[in-house]
Homo-oligomer: A and B are copies of this chain.
Amino acid sequence: MKRYNDIKWRESMRVRLDYNKMTADFLTGEDAITKEQLSSYQDKVREAAVSMDEKRKAGLMKWRELPYNQQNVVQEILTTAKDISEQYDDFVLLGIGGSALGPLAVNQALNHIYYNDLPKSKRGGKPRFFVVDNIDPERMSALFDIIDVRKTLFNVVTKSGSTSETMAQFLLVHDMLKRHVGNDYAKQIVATTDEQKGSLIKIAREEGYKTFFVPDGVGGRFSQLCPVGLLPAAVCGIDIEEMLAGAAYMDELCSTHDVYANPAYMGGLLQYIAMTSGKNITVMMPYADSLKLMADWYAQLWAESLGKKYSLDGQVVHTGQTPVRALGVTDQHSQVQLYTEGPFDKVITFLTVDEYRNKLEIPKGFESLPDVAFLGGQTFDDLIKAEQNATEYALLKAGRLNMAIRFPKVNAFTVGQFMYLLEVQTAFEGELLNINAFDQPGVEEGKEATYALMGRPGFESKKKELDSREPNKDEYII
């Protein structure tokens, strides 16, 4: 039996939202949230919960079904991942945004912190893992200094099949493979894209690449639990079935309408209350290097879903908190001064870990120096937990809203839970804000301007618009 089918184990691995330090029972000052405040949102919460259910039923949140319907492709992914591991030294994902952030975060969470620096034998025979999520010419060419294209599998990931950054990378890789590998190059490319639409699927079919599909109706930032995220995870040896099981478990926990029992709804409501009282910044601060990139993944999810100009009824709202990524304890020496003494403009969400994968003793030494000696004989586990605890306490004393999402351990099951939890919370927040959490109209202007500047046919009038801009003035350049 898989451990995640054991009810006791699942319960012991439940990821929980702890919002004690958001409440007036603990926090003093104007920002503290009272029970009365929470219950005053009763009707709004009920409406949002009903809308969540209706949209799910209407097929408007297809990402919610991924923990169930992706079981179908798991076997194919595992087989492909095994083949890749056996044949290649390096696995390079070409993708950006949602195609990159989830895979990066999951690898960081569940593999060795210095995964790529390990010898292949210590990586369980798995290939090194690179995500190329920018088009910086220096970085692009640097990649080829450290990989051997003949021994590399390239996974091209774009749902639309035409993301400029990814397709530019693809053109480069395609050309290099043809030159260095010859006719067989097609087997070194796996395309993950829409099954019907877009240029990449056409190319893949024409050239005979292995393909995986982003299910219809699943947007980039909600795509971690489909092949976009599952294939790279599987290639790096991560138990993707357990990750999906974690997501399914969290789906159960997030299905109740009772906001006091639903971590996603309560998390969303608390952020909503904070936001409407002026907290336009939301900090995610994991106390674990393994969870560091989860904050980056979350930053896209929250920012792109909720940063919107219009409400669903067409009002101009200019809404959205700005997500900030921090890392404990590191950023105690960088950001916490601001968090405790600066403006009352943020909510801090810690990610904590009850049981790290090891404790690691701090050896004794230098007994005559008390400011060093007190550390000896304790563990790094003690120290990081004490510091998290201390930071929470310092924020509380300074009257700062803070809460925690607590991982019993970091494993595929808890990571699956966590990501699904945040996805539901984001969608729910979209309901509270009455906006569309699933589009991104604000990036169109920039995309079109890029097309125009790059001379893409069909964007001639935008090009004219850009060419008619007044040039920058020297007086404003120092």
A168 touches B375 (CB 8 A): yes
**A273 interfacial by beta-carbon distance below 8 Å:** no
A476 touches B18 (CB 8 A): yes
Which of B327, B362, B456 sits near A371, CB closer than 8 Å?
B456
Chain A stretch 327-378: residues in CB contact (< 8 A) with chain B: 327, 329-330, 332-346, 356-360, 362-366, 369-372, 374-376, 378
**Chain B residue contacts of A456, Cβ below 8 A:** 370-371, 374
**Chain B residue contacts of A470, Cβ below 8 A:** 25-26
A431 to chain B, nearest CB (A): 18
A380 to chain B, nearest CB (A): 4
Chain A stretch 299-339: residues in CB contact (< 8 A) with chain B: 299-300, 303-304, 306-309, 318-320, 322, 324-325, 327, 329-330, 332-339
B450 touches A342 (CB 8 A): no
A174 touches B394 (CB 8 A): no
**A92 interfacial by beta-carbon distance below 8 Å:** no
**Chain B residue contacts of A162, Cβ below 8 A:** 371-372
**Chain B residue contacts of A172, Cβ below 8 A:** 360, 362-363, 380
B300 touches A334 (CB 8 A): yes
**A87 interfacial by beta-carbon distance below 8 Å:** no
Q: Which residue of B lies closest to A291 (CB)?
A: B136
**A11 interfacial by beta-carbon distance below 8 Å:** no
A332 touches B446 (CB 8 A): yes
Q: Which of A116, A280, A322, A477 has the most CB of B within 10 A?
A: A322
User: Contacts A162-B372, A394-B449: A362 and B476 contacting too (C-beta < 8 A)?
Assistant: no
Report how far A269 CA is from B117 CA in the complex, Å: 45
